[in-house]
Amino acid sequence: MNRQKETLAYNSKVEGEVIVTRSDAVINWIRQNSVWPMPMGLACCAIELMASAASKFDISRFGMEVMRFSPRQADCMIVAGTVTYKMAEVVRRIYDQMPDPKWVVAMGACASTGGMYRSYAVLQGVDQVVPVDVYISGCPPRPEALLDAMRKLQKKIGQENSTKNLLSPRETTAV
């Protein structure tokens, strides 16, 4: 029984100071546990976004509490709120300034589809200007929904071919 355990565990005496694993697993593990969100708060969803960072819901349990207001220091843009056509340009420019690899979460009905704003002024879904990884339903979504989406995003990051794509940047043109 004891012997079996030893063979399964990492043994520094036998293997030296070396750990063998796949590079994808290491890179993805690092990426998915240090997501730095860029809060693109545009409407009431941003209030729920703030709530999810506060003590009751505590997004830092998943390593995402480092909200960065500079796109150059962030790698996940959370679009929280109604994107007007006038603002769409700004959203895209901020997205362009984020370093690769980067992800986008469309939080709430407005960011996902235009929501209840079927009007001349509102962009009908932020996926028309930036590629979206995770959509969250709700008007506005509860903080738990945001946390769930961020966990899903972590899972998605975990499945990426990071090593293969290390030198070729991700496709960033919106569909």
- Give the C-alpha distances (Å, rounded to integers) separating 76 from 4, 32, 66, 94, 102: 43, 11, 11, 11, 6
The minimum distance between CB 76 and another protein, in angstroms, equals 20
Binding another protein (rule: CB under 8 A), the pick from 93, 155, 164, 170 is 93
Its sign, for the CA torsion 140, 175, 129, 51, is positive
Which amino acid, one-letter code, is at 33?
N
The Cα 72–Cα 70 span in angstroms is 5
The Cα 27–Cα 24 span in angstroms is 5
Binding another protein (rule: CB under 8 A), the pick from 68, 92, 151, 152 is 92
114 binds another protein (CB under 8 A): yes
Q: Which stretch binds another protein (CB under 8 A): 20-28, 47-55, 74-82, 108-116?
A: 108-116
Size of the site for another protein (CB under 8 A): 25
| Residues that bind another protein in the complex, under the rule CB under 8 A | 85-86, 88-89, 92-93, 109, 114-122, 124, 128-129, 137-139, 142, 173-174
